[in-house]
Amino acid sequence: MAAQRKVHSVWQYFDEESDNNVVCQLCAQKLTHNHSAGVMRNHSQLKHLDIKLQGQQATITNTQQTSFTACVTPTHRRCDADRSEKITQLITEMTVRDLLPLCFVEGNDFHKLKHFTEPEHTTQSHTMDTS
């Protein structure tokens, strides 16, 4: 194994499995590096945001990687009247600005998305004032 292959600081986060393959010590993903640190550097920057690679030095700001469920699980906050009104206002502006038909915001898929992102938001009835 040539010494120049292990000059980059990213090598401290990988174990060499064979001549062209490495395994990430943080997530156990296998990579083919073709005698270059580029693949490992890209993996570290995309998958492990808490690693800061700076040429020959690397630092970890937080050793715990955020789990996938933590990213997609909504937080438990109350949807108060002000927040609900703002959501309704933004939906209305989007519908008008993008010339969307009302059936877009009345459809099941839109309600599923809205319920997932803000379960406590209630949609106000849309009635036209003809007076």
Tokens linked to 108: 């099941």
For all residues of the chain together, what is the average pLDDT?
A: 75
Q: 48-78 pLDDT, tens per residue?
A: 776 666 554 445 555 556 665 555 555 556 7
Residue 117 to residue 104: CA distance in whole angstroms: 17
Nearest Cα neighbor of 55 from 35, 74, 37, 71 is 37
Residue 45 parent element (H or E):
helix 38-47
**CA separation for the pair 62, 65 (Å, rounded):** 8
Query: Which residues, other chains included, contact 126 with Cβ-Cβ below 8 Å and sequence gap of 6+?
Result: 102
3-state helix, strand, coil in the chain (%, to 5): 45, 15, 45
Task: Please tell me the pTM assigned to this model.
Answer: 0.38
